[in-house]
Structure 1
Amino acid sequence: MPLGNEEIKIAQTIIAVALAFLSIALVMILFFYFSRKKIVQKEIEKRELEVNHQKELLHSVLVTQEAERKRIAQDLHDDISSKLNVVALHTHLLSTPDITDLERTEIMQQISDLTGKALENSRRIAHDLLPPVFERFGLHAGIEELVLEFNTSKTMQVTYTNSVKFDEAKNDKLLHVFRILQELLNNSLRHGKATQVQIIMTQQNDQIQLQYTDNGIGFEVHDSSKHRGLGLKNIESRVGILNGTFQVESQSGQGVQYNFNFSIV
């Protein structure tokens, strides 16, 4: 039985609607497919950036460790090995038959002085490797001792304020904070020619805020060569290990201020 015009129109309408729905469905499928593909691609790129960042941090840490090893080796060679060589020479002189009592006394005194200095230097090197106060009593006590050393030397006045209770179980991470402060204090004294330093540590939720300010000669932050030359590459690597952030504010002749944030409470 042939279809009437009305039925043909209805059939055409149904087919048109079905095609429209199929087209919309196809467009949505393609949209979600490419959107998902874009999201996955961004996730891959993000992970690649994270991996590259971790590689850079690891490289920086290895470079820092190698520099520390070289410094320690140089200290051992210059301060201790050379003194022990002189001690060995003086000890040999004591066995010579024509030595006088006065000469023997002088040589013995020199041996005593040299061995005392060698012992003092070996303790200093061991202290630099891992400060005993930090190891036994934690970050707060370690910083207090560090501040006392600078204040006792009369070269630079350092004030330290802390309202954070540190978890000693995280001393492996807190040691990086200690090393950062060591680096900053040495920079303030040697490069910044500062006479006053202020260190403030506070806590907000699980974040530690560290503010470090000195009154030294400062530097232009945009001058990347000088910026890196002040040891900030080492600091950046340690901050990265702690998954922290930091900002530097400085101008020539106006001192410097560092603001750090760490999640290691």
Structure 2
Amino acid sequence: MSIHSVPEKEIVVIILYTSLFLVVMAVVLVAFFYFSRKKIIEKELEKKDLILQYQKEQLYAIIITQEEERKRIAQDLHDDISSKLNIVSLNSHLLNAPNLTESETAEITDNIISLTTKALENSRKIAHNLLPPVFEKFGLNAAVEEICEEFESSKAVKVYYKNEIDFNDNETDRHLHIFRILQELMNNSLRHGKATEIWIAFKNNNEINTCNYEDNGIGFDAKCIDNQKGLGMKNIESRILFLDGTIKINSEINHGIDVMFTF
């Protein structure tokens, strides 16, 4: 009996140890998968938080840009329109003064006509900056051609524009973002970059619409993050976000700027 009982005990012990080992391994595997999954979830949450933070920053940039634009329009209305209309009002009251000579009446009338004409011209300029009539009537391509001509009329810069895309007239809202991006880039090239030449090209590469923008200005150090954090750049990035596009900016000091964005 003892000879047969010893192996049976050993078998029981082996089974117990094996079972215990398997249980421990199962616990270890469950713990491993649990913590691995937990880390994956944490990373996903961190990624979502970063995306939300980025979207908040872009939204904040848009709000700031809109407020700056409103201030500029209000200032233009006050300086160019209101001041002239106030003088027109004063001159109009002068016409009611007694004993005015014919020459005085003619002079006051001429002043009223001149100031009214200037106020109308300035109001057209303000309206044009808000939404160019050419853009509204003829679309993005015509609006870009017009702004290129306007910049060239200053005799300070030469603009080379080429378009290989047939723009859809039903995407006016999206096209306005593209126009504003180019407007911002061109203003920066002239004001800050001191550029004398600008190149703009719309192309379709592998079913992806792209815009290549270059100038020969003084450029900047693109590696310095602070150089790409200005209000203008945040405004551009916000518009790119709305277009579901991407943007790459390359620049070196004294070597101009090279921008490529998709939309």
Q: Does the alignment reach a TM-score above 0.5?
A: yes
DSSP 3-state at the match of 1:249: strand
Q: CA deviation at 1:193?
A: 1.8
Letter in 2 for 1:13: I
What do residues 211-259 of structure 1 show as CA deviations (whole Å, max 9, x unaligned)? Answer: 1111122223345555545832322332233343323222332222222
Q: Hey, what does 2:131 align to over in structure 1? A: 130
What do residues 111-150 of structure 1 show as CA deviations (whole Å, max 9, x unaligned)? Answer: 1121111111111111111222222332222212211222
DSSP 3-state at the match of 2:259: strand
Q: Hey, what does 1:52 align to over in structure 2? A: 53
- Please give the alpha-carbon distance, in whole angstroms, between the structure 2 residues aligned to 1:72 and 1:78: 10
Two-structure CA RMSD over aligned residues (Å)? 2.2
- Please give the alpha-carbon distance, in whole angstroms, between the structure 1 residues aligned to 2:172 and 2:6: 87
- Please give the alpha-carbon distance, in whole angstroms, between the structure 2 residues aligned to 1:144 and 1:73: 28
Does 62-71 or 222-231 show the bigger shift?
A: 222-231
Q: Hey, what does 2:15 align to over in structure 1? A: 14
On the 8 A contact 2:65/2:231 being kept in 1, the answer is no
Q: Hey, what does 1:239 align to over in structure 2? A: 240
In the alignment, structure 2 segments of 5+ residues that lack a partner are: none
DSSP 3-state at the match of 1:169: coil
- Please give the alpha-carbon distance, in whole angstroms, between the structure 1 residues aligned to 2:77 and 2:252: 38
DSSP 3-state at the match of 1:39: helix
DSSP 3-state at the match of 1:217: coil
On the 8 A contact 1:191/1:230 being kept in 2, the answer is no
Q: CA deviation at 1:34?
A: 0.9
Q: Hey, what does 2:185 align to over in structure 1? A: 184
Does 106-115 or 240-249 show the bigger shift?
A: 240-249
- Please give the alpha-carbon distance, in whole angstroms, between the structure 2 residues aligned to 1:47 and 1:10: 54
- Please give the alpha-carbon distance, in whole angstroms, between the structure 1 residues aligned to 2:12 and 2:225: 74
On the 8 A contact 1:187/1:230 being kept in 2, the answer is no
Q: Which runs of 4+ in 1 moved over 6 A?
A: none
**Cα gap change, 1:139 to 1:100, in 2 (>3 Å):** same
- Please give the alpha-carbon distance, in whole angstroms, between the structure 2 residues aligned to 1:135 and 1:159: 23
Q: Hey, what does 1:158 align to over in structure 2? A: 159
Does 44-53 or 229-238 show the bigger shift?
A: 229-238
- Please give the alpha-carbon distance, in whole angstroms, between the structure 2 residues aligned to 1:104 and 1:159: 52
Does 221-230 or 134-143 show the bigger shift?
A: 221-230
Q: Hey, what does 1:117 align to over in structure 2? A: 118
Q: CA deviation at 1:83?
A: 0.8
DSSP 3-state at the match of 1:216: coil
Q: CA deviation at 1:15?
A: 2.4
Counting only pairs closer than 5 Å after superposition, residues 1-265 of structure 1 correspond to structure 2 as 4-223=5-224, 227-228=228-229, 231-262=232-263
- Please give the alpha-carbon distance, in whole angstroms, between the structure 2 residues aligned to 1:5 and 1:127: 102
Q: CA deviation at 1:62?
A: 0.5
- Please give the alpha-carbon distance, in whole angstroms, between the structure 1 residues aligned to 2:110 and 2:12: 117
**TM-score normalised over the length of structure 1:** 0.89
Q: CA deviation at 1:53?
A: 1.2
What do residues 59-94 of structure 1 show as CA deviations (whole Å, max 9, x unaligned)? Answer: 111000000000000000000001111111111222
Q: How many residues align?
A: 262
- Please give the alpha-carbon distance, in whole angstroms, between the structure 2 residues aligned to 1:228 and 1:41: 29
What do residues 151-192 of structure 1 show as CA deviations (whole Å, max 9, x unaligned)? Answer: 233332111112223333332222111111111111112222
Identity %: 52
On the 8 A contact 1:87/1:111 being kept in 2, the answer is yes
